[in-house]
Amino acid sequence: MSSPRAEFVAGVTRIAPALLGTVPFGMMIGVASIAAGLPVGPATAMSCVAFAGTAQLATLQLLNAGAPAAVILLTVAIINLRFQMYSAAIAPHFRHLSLPWKCLLGYLLSDNGFALAIVRFNREPNLPHRHWFYLGACVTLWLTWGLGCLAGIFLGAQVPPEWSLDFIIPLIFIGIVAPQINDLPHVAAALTAGVVAIAAAGLPYNLSLIAAALAGIGAGAIVERVRA
C-alpha cells in the first residue's frame, strides 16, 4: 500500500541518477556568478531563489555585458516559457491540492522533475500521494542544485581577480550550444545569430544579443520549412 513517506522516498530514489549532472552544472553556475561580478551574498540568493540553470546563465551573461534590467527580464521570460507548458501538463494531477501545496510544487518545477513525474503519472493515473513522489524528487534536485551552486560560488570567490574568470561564461554557453548544432537548420541559426551579433554590436543596451537570437530563430525556422 502506497504511503506519503514511501512515495517521497521513491521520488528521491528515481531522481538520483540525474544528480550526477546537476552538481557540476551548479558549480559552473556558481563560478560564473562570481565571474560576472556578483558578490557572494547576491550570488547565493540568486541560486536559491532562481531554480533555473539556463535562465541564470543567460542573466549572468547579460549582467556581464551590461544589459539593462528590461532586456534581462525579457530574455529570462522567453527562456522560461517552457515552464508554462510543463505547468499545463502536470496541473491536472495536482488539481485537488490546497493553494500552499500548489505554490510549493510550482516553485520546484524543473525539467528533470517534470519529466520524471509526468511519465509516472501518465503510466499510473490513479497513483495515490503522487504529490509526495514529486516533492521527493524535486526537493532532492533543488537541494543538490543549491549545494552545487554554493560550492562554485565559494570556489570562484577564492580565485584572484587577475585570473579573469569572466571567460568562463561564454565557454559554458559554447559547451551547451555546440552539441546541439547537428543539422542544417541549427547550423543556419548559429551562423545567422553570430553574424547579426557582430553586425549589431553597436546597438544600445546590448540589444545585439536579442537581435541575434531572433534572427537565428528566424533563419532556423526558414531553413527547416524549406527543407520540409
Q: Which residue is it, cell 552539441?
A: 179
Cell reading at 186: 541549427
Question: Is residue 79 domain-shared with residue 143, that is, in the same domain?
Answer: yes
Domain closes at, from 112, 136, 163:
163
Segment 41-57, tens digit of pLDDT:
888 888 888 888 888 88
Closest CA relative to residue 63, chosen from 173, 169, 146, 151: 169
Number of domains in the chain: 2
Amino acid identity of residue 212, one-letter, is A
Question: Is residue 59 domain-shared with residue 132, that is, in the same domain?
Answer: yes
Segment 127-181, tens digit of pLDDT:
889 999 999 999 999 999 999 899 888 887 776 666 665 566 566 556 656 776 7
Amino acid identity of residue 106, one-letter, is G
Whether 15 is in a domain gets the answer yes
Whether 209 is in a domain gets the answer yes
Question: Among 21-30, 54-63, 84-93, 201-210, which stretch is predicted with the lowest mean pLDDT?
Answer: 201-210
Question: Is residue 192 domain-shared with residue 157, that is, in the same domain?
Answer: no
Question: Is residue 207 domain-shared with residue 119, that is, in the same domain?
Answer: no
Domain housing 193: 181-227
Closest CA relative to residue 193, chosen from 203, 207, 208: 208
Whether 169 is in a domain gets the answer no
Note the pTM of the prediction, 2 decimals: 0.73
Confidence category of residue 97, pLDDT binned at 50, 70, 90 = very high
